[in-house]
Structure 1
Amino acid sequence: MGSLGGTISMTASDAAGGVVPTLDATQLTRSVPGLSEVAEIRTASLRQLPSASLGYDDLMAALDWAEQQIAAGASGVVLTQGTDTLEETAFLLDLFWKLPAPLVITGAMRAPQTAGADGPANLLAAVRTACHPESAGRGVLVVMNDTVHYARWVSKGDALAVQAFVSNDGGVAARLVEGRPTYFHGGPARAQPLPRPVRAWPKVALVTAVLGDDGELAELAVNAGYEAVVIAAQGAGHVSFGFAQRIGTLTPRVPVVIASRAAAGSTASQTYGYVGAEIDLARRGAHLGGWLSALKSRLLVTALLASGTVAGALGEALENWSKLTRR
Structure 2
Amino acid sequence: MLIMRHAIYARCLAAALAAAAALLPARAALAQETAALPRVAVLATGGTIAGQADTRAANAYNAGAVGAQQLVQAVPGIDKLARLSTEQVASIGSQDMNDKVWFALARRIQALFDHNEADAVVITHGTDTLEETAFFLDNVLHTDKPVVLVGSMRPSTATSADGPSNLYEAVEVAASPSARGRGVMVVLNDTIQSARGTTKTNTTSVQTFASPNSGPIGYVDPASVRFFTPAFQPDAHKYALPSGDQLPRVEIVYSHANMDGVPVEHAIASGAKGIVLAGVGDGNTSQSALEALQRAAKQGIVVVRSTRVGSGFVNRNVEVNDDTSGFAVSLDLNPQKARVLTQLLIANGVTAPAQVQKAFAATY
Is TM-score (shorter-chain normalized) higher than 0.5? yes
What's the CA shift for 1:198?
Answer: 3.4
Deviations 1:114-162 (A, max 9, x none): 1210000000000000011111011110001010000001100001100
Q: What aligned pairs does 1:115-154 form with structure 2 within 5 A after superposition?
A: 115-154=159-198
The 2-side partners of 1:117 and 1:318 are apart by 42
Q: Measured at CA, do residues 215 and 180 of structure 1 come closer, stay the same or move farther in structure 2, by a change above 3 Å?
A: farther
The 2-side partners of 1:105 and 1:304 are apart by 23
8 Å Cα contact 1:46-1:62 kept in structure 2? yes
Matching of residue 19 in structure 1 with residue 50 in structure 2: no
Query: In structure 1, what is the equivalent of residue 358 of structure 2?
Result: 320
Matching of residue 226 in structure 1 with residue 302 in structure 2: no
Q: Measured at CA, do residues 66 and 143 of structure 1 come closer, stay the same or move farther in structure 2, by a change above 3 Å?
A: same
Unaligned runs of 5+ in 1: none
The 2-side partners of 1:259 and 1:88 are apart by 15
The 1-side partners of 2:108 and 2:297 are apart by 38
What's the CA shift for 1:325?
Answer: 2.5
Matching of residue 176 in structure 1 with residue 220 in structure 2: yes
Question: Which residue, out of 266, 290, 309, partners 2:349?
Answer: 309
Query: In structure 2, what is the equivalent of residue 47 of structure 1?
Result: 90
Aligned length: 317
What's the CA shift for 1:317?
Answer: 3.6
Deviations 1:152-176 (A, max 9, x none): 0110000110000000111101001
The 1-side partners of 2:322 and 2:286 are apart by 11
8 Å Cα contact 1:247-1:281 kept in structure 2? no
What's the CA shift for 1:202?
Answer: 1.4
Q: What aligned pairs does 1:1-327 form with structure 2 within 5 A after superposition?
A: 1-14=42-55, 18-20=60-62, 21-70=64-113, 71-190=115-234, 191-198=236-243, 200-253=246-299, 254-270=301-317, 272=318, 277-278=319-320, 280-306=321-347, 308-311=348-351, 313=352, 315-326=353-364
8 Å Cα contact 1:209-1:215 kept in structure 2? no
The 1-side partners of 2:344 and 2:144 are apart by 21
8 Å Cα contact 1:132-1:180 kept in structure 2? no
8 Å Cα contact 1:128-1:179 kept in structure 2? no
Deviations 1:269-288 (A, max 9, x none): 24x3xxxx22x244211111
- Matched residue type, 1:54: M
The 1-side partners of 2:170 and 2:350 are apart by 37
Which stretch of structure 1 is more off in the superposition, 194-203 or 58-67?
194-203
The 1-side partners of 2:313 and 2:221 are apart by 32
Which stretch of structure 1 is more off in the superposition, 7-16 or 136-145?
7-16
Name the larger-Rg structure: 2
- Matched residue type, 1:233: G
Superposed CA RMSD:
1.8
8 Å Cα contact 1:248-1:284 kept in structure 2? yes
- Matched residue type, 2:278: A
Q: Tell me the TM-score normalised to structure 2 length.
A: 0.83
What's the CA shift for 1:261?
Answer: 1.3
